[in-house]
Structure 1
Amino acid sequence: EALKKGFANLAKHIENMRLFDVPVVVGINKFISDTDAEIQALRDLCADYGVEAALNNCWAEGGKGGVEMGEKVLKMLEQPKTPYKPIYDVNASIPEKLTAIVQKVYGGDGVVFEGNAKKQIQELEAFGLDHMPICVAKTQYSLSDNPALLGAPKGFTVTVKDVRICTGAGFIVCQTSNIMTMPGLPKVPAANRMDIDENGVITGLF
């Protein structure tokens, strides 16, 4: 029942991929605690939603565990190509582009720019640096900027606190909260539990 309830989030991600007019295949990343019933339920939900699903069990089986998914991706690549369709005009204003992302991709109502963000947008516009794609830096736990809103929430707004440009990469970063924008390690990294002995036997991976 929890899996069926949580499928609302996956369904929204599938819808989002379809927004760009590209084909979709769902890779089921199998964990050791997943049951056969859960895997089958997820396959059935994907089938009902009209999308291909394949098991990825590389974690336990190495390359062999990814054969099904690889074959389905290859089969999809053999189909007639559909042109990528962006969801906004890159030359639109920063608020217009971000509003398109929030409404079409996240499922929210709109965007609120705080005072500092408004000033930063004006500066980028003055230098003609606002005609780039948008990269949103926000919580990974929700489609909104509130980590407590799970599934596929509706009726929310996204608040932008900081707007800056990455000229080398060629995009504008809209940050919604005080989050780490570079990958970080947990307090106890998994590597601390890993080892290899003189015979080449590795432990601590699983």
Structure 2
Amino acid sequence: MTPTHLPGRVAIPSLPEQPRSAPLDRFNTAPVDDLRPTLLTCLRSHRWATRIAAHRPYPDVDALLAASDEASYDLTPGDLAEALAGETLPGLPTDAYGAAHMALDAAQAAYEARFGHQFVICLDGLAPEEALDHVLAGIRSRLTNDPEEERVVAAEELRRLARGRLLSHLRGAGNGATSHDGAAPGTQRHTPPHTPQR
């Protein structure tokens, strides 16, 4: 059976125009003084926050994330130190056992003694039950870096955190990244376990 051909041209309907993102519109139009505190929860670098705010409006989220990456790559050693000073370790689950807290505290102390700043790692995409092992493995493997190697790794982790936090802000929901005060949206801060009195 031969296929039937329609006479003339077949009109292809145009794709509907994509609606603009309301959160991105608010981001683009917010007064700088209102936006700056939000940006500083994404990355505690004033230079980075100033650049992101100054290059608005962004046509889409991808353009915003590209600008975030570019500004992150341009961090000076001083900017990096400023950003790292505002970081804390991701929170452990509330039911984490005491040995996990002690192992994390010891690893963090060794890292800070070697590099002089807080360990920073992006946990986006990891299941909560995998976070502790990932953090401990990350600290232990990065303790073998020399300071310049670790500066590059830490800068990359900050870049990833900034992207995730920007997306979290635009979505209005947490993504598992820590905020500047260490409180990840929807998670507990890393605090030593309570030891009951005997």
Verify same fold: TM over 0.5: no
Which structure has the larger Rg over C-alpha atoms?
A: 2
Greater relative contact order (CA < 8 Å, ≥ 6 in sequence): 2
More helix by share: 2
Q: TM-score w.r.t. structure 1 length?
A: 0.29
Q: TM-score w.r.t. structure 2 length?
A: 0.30
